[in-house]
Amino acid sequence: MSDINKKIKVLIVDDSAVIRQVMADIMANDKDIEMDAAADPIFAMRHMEKQWPDVIVLDVEMPRMDGITFLRKIMSERPTPVVMCSTLTASGTKTTLEALSAGAIDIITKPKAGAKAALIEENKLILDTIKSAAKARNLKKTPVVMKDRAPQSSNTKLTADAIISKGSRPVSQLTDKIIAIGTSTGGTQALEIVLTELPANCPGIVVVQHMPEKFTKAFAERLNSVCSVSVCEAENGQRIMRGQVIIAPGGKHMTIVRHGAQYSVEVVDGPLVNRHRPSVDVLFRSVAKFAGKNALGIIMTGMGDDGARGLKEIRESGAHTLGQDEATCIVYGMPNEAFKLGAVERQVPLEKIASEISKF
C-alpha cells in the first residue's frame, strides 16, 4: 500500500453470527486491519456502496444469494481480493474450487463442526492470509491459490533439513528429464495457464502448490479435464512419466527418488517446512539431490520464501532454473526471494513458461 499508515479494510460476508463474531475478535487486536461484516451478499452490496473493501472474506453457502454468484458479480464489476471461507467437505471442496475458478484469491477452511474453536486456533494464519490477499494484483477470473492449514505447534520455521538431507555427489546425465514447479498465492491460476499450453508428450512434471488437504485431488481432477497432459494427485511410489503432471497432496510433503534411470515420487509425513506442508523447498531439494542437471526448476507466484533455497540447490547441482517475472505474478514474493538469493537463472513472464518447458 502506498500509505503505510492505511489500514486494510476487510469485509466479512457470512450468514453465521458465530463466524462473524469470531472473525471480529481475531481482527480486533490487529492494528493493521479494519473490519466490518454482513450477513449475506445483499447486505454486503449495500455496505460496499458506501465503502469498498480491500479484502472480502466470503462464505460459500448463504441465503438470498450464494457466495459464488456474488463473487462472479464482484470480479466482473470491480476485481477485488476475495478469500473464501469454506468447510472441508466433499461438496464444499468442489464448490470452493468453483469459487477459486471464478477468481477467489485464497481460502480459509472451517470444519463443519467446531468451527469457532478451529478458527480461533488458526488466528495467525487467518491474519496472514488476509494481509497476503491485500497485496495481490493482476486479479483475473481464473483459479488462484489455497494454503496449507495444518495446525502449527510453534513459531519455529523449519528448513528442508527436517525432511531430507542434502545431496553429496554429482548426478549423472540421463535421457529422462524432470520439471519441478513450486508456487503459492496465485499459483492455481498460473499453473492452469502453463499446463494447458503443454503438449501431451512433455517431460514429467512434479508440482508443489500450497493447498489444504482434501483440495488437491479435486484441483488435479479439474486440471486433468482441461489439459492435454495427464494431471493427478501424487500417490506414494508413483513413477514420473512423460506427459504426466503429479501434484503434491495437501497436508503431505512430496519428494522424488531415483531408481536406476527412472524417477518416482514419495509422499511423506513430517513437520511444516517454511510453515508449509507440502513445502516447495522439500521437493526442490530432492530434485537437486536425485535429478541434478536432468531437471528444470521453476518458481512462480506466491507469498513468502518457500522454494528459494531449494531452487538455489537445484541450480548449484548443474540444472537450469526459471523464476516468474514480477509483472505477471499475482504476488511477487517467492520468485523475488529466489532471485535475490541467486537461485534464478532467468526471469520470464508467465505466458512464456510453457514454451521454456517445451524447449527443455
Catalytic positions: 184, 210, 306
- 175 phi and psi, to 5 degrees? -70, -45
Q: All 3 cell numbers of residue 20?
A: 462473524
Q: Is the dihedral of CA 306, 280, 199, 356 positive or negative?
A: positive
Q: By C-alpha distance, which of 255, 246, 241, 249 is closest to 206?
A: 246
Alpha helices, DSSP H, located in 170-291: 187-195, 216-226, 280-290
With cell 454468484, the residue in question is 69
Omega before 249 within 30 of 0, i.e. cis: no
- 265 phi and psi, to 5 degrees? -110, 150
| Integer CA distances (angstroms), 142 to 85, 103, 106, 145, 187, in order | 18, 5, 12, 10, 10
Q: CB-based contacts of 21: which residues, under 8 Å, 6+ apart?
A: none
CA distance 129 to 146: 9
Cα end-to-end distance, the chain, whole Å: 38
CA distance 128 to 123: 9
Q: Tell me the three state secondary structure of residue 83.
A: strand
